[in-house]
Amino acid sequence: MDEIFDVIILGAGAAGLTSGIYSSRAKLNTLIINEGAIGGQMILTNEIANYPGVELTNGFMVANTMKKQAKDFGCKIKSNVKIESYDLNGKIKKVVLKDGRSFQSKSVILAPGGKPRSLNIEGEDAFKGTGISYCATCDGEFFMDKELIVVGGGNSALEEAVTLTKYATKVTIVHQFDQFQAFEHAILEAKNNPKIEFIMESELRGFYGNGKLKKVSIEHLPSGKISEKKIDGVFIFVGYLPQTEPFAQIVNVNDRNEFVVDTDMKTNIPGVFAAGDCIAKRYRQVTTAVADGTIAALSAADYLRTQNN
C-alpha cells in the first residue's frame, strides 16, 4: 500500500518550500515533489536586497536555507523527478511519477511557479544557449567583455541589466514602451549606470548568426523602421508564464492560465490549494510567494482538521 501523506506539495520554489516548512512544523506528514531544481525562479535571482530581516543575499542561498528548514522539520523532498499523472479529485489525491512510483495524500498544494516568457520571433529557438539567455545569474559570466541586449522594462529586466554590467562592456535595454514598468529605485539605478543605454518604443524582430548569435533586427514601433545591431548576447526578461497546463482541465484558471484561488488559497477542488507565481495576483516577489505558501499550508491544515472531525 502507498504511504498516505497529509500534504503533498507540487513545486519547490519560494511558495512550495514555505508551505513545506509550515505544514511539517505543524507535524503534518508532508512531501514536496519537484520536477526541477530546488528553489524555482528564486535561484535565478542574483541579488535579494529587500527580503525583510535579511541583509543583501541571493536567491540560491535563500532557497538552500528554506530547504534545510523544511527538512529539519521533517518534510520529505523528491526533486528532479518527472510526473506522469495526477488525480486530485476525491478525498485521497494521487501523484504518479514516470518511473512508476506513486504517492497519495489527503490534501495537495499546487506551487509549480512559472517559466520565462519567450518573444516567439525568428531565430529565438535556434540561439537559445548560444547567445540567448533568460537568466543573468546563470549565464552572465559567459559574456565577459561582450556587448549585450536586455529585453524588457520591468523590475527584473532593469535589475538584471545592472547585474550584467559586472561582466559586459555595454548593455542596451530594448523596451516596447516609452517608459518603464518598474519601481523607481530600479529605474534610477539603471539610468545612472554608465554602461547601460536604452532603445525605447522598440521590439526585437529576429535573431541572426551562424551557429552563434551575431546580430538582431529591431523595429522602432512609432515609425516602423527596422534596423540591425551587432550583438554578442541577448537576455530576455518579459515576464513569466504560469506552469499550470497539466492541471488546467480540472483546476479553474483565468484567461492568463493562472490558478483562481480565494483568500485562503483554496481552488475549486476541495483539499487542493495553490500558491506562488502560478496564482492570479498582481505582484510577484519572493515575499509574496512566501506569504501565499504560508496561507496555503495553514489552510490545508485547517482543511485536514475538518476532515478528521
pLDDT tens digits, 141-151: 899 999 999 99
* Other Cβ atoms closer than 10 A to 229: 14
**CA–CA distance from 62 to each of 8, 109, 141, 260 (Å)?**
22, 21, 21, 28
Same domain, 155 and 19: no
Q: Which domain-ending residue is among 236, 266, 295? A: 236
The Cα–Cα gap between 61 and 57 comes to 7
Look at 240 and 24; give whichever has higher pLDDT.
24
Q: For 71-128, what is each residue's pLDDT tens digit?
A: 999 999 999 999 999 999 999 999 999 999 999 999 999 999 988 889 999 999 999 9
Same domain, 162 and 86: no
pLDDT at position 205, please?
A: 97
Kindly tell me the sign of the dihedral angle through the C-alpha atoms of 258, 135, 160, 69: positive
Same domain, 78 and 14: yes
Same domain, 138 and 271: no
pLDDT at position 2, please?
A: 67
Q: Which domain-ending residue is among 236, 265, 283? A: 236
**CA–CA distance from 138 to each of 22, 46, 84, 134, 274 (Å)?**
30, 9, 29, 9, 28
Instruction: Please state the rounded mean pLDDT for residues 288-300.
Output: 97
Q: For 233-282, what is each residue's pLDDT tens digit?
A: 999 999 888 999 999 889 999 998 999 999 999 999 999 999 999 999 98
Average per-residue pLDDT in the chain? Answer: 93
Instruction: Please state the rounded mean pLDDT for residues 181-198.
Output: 96
- For residue 1, pLDDT over 60 is answered with no
Same domain, 109 and 10: yes
Cell of 224: 516602423
Q: For 58-80, what is each residue's pLDDT tens digit?
A: 888 999 999 999 999 999 999 99
Which residue range is the domain that position 17 belongs to? 4-115+240-308
Instruction: Please state the rounded mean pLDDT for residues 18-39.
Output: 95
Number of independent structural domains in the chain: 2
pLDDT at position 20, please?
A: 98
Q: Against a cut of 0.85, is the pTM above it?
A: no
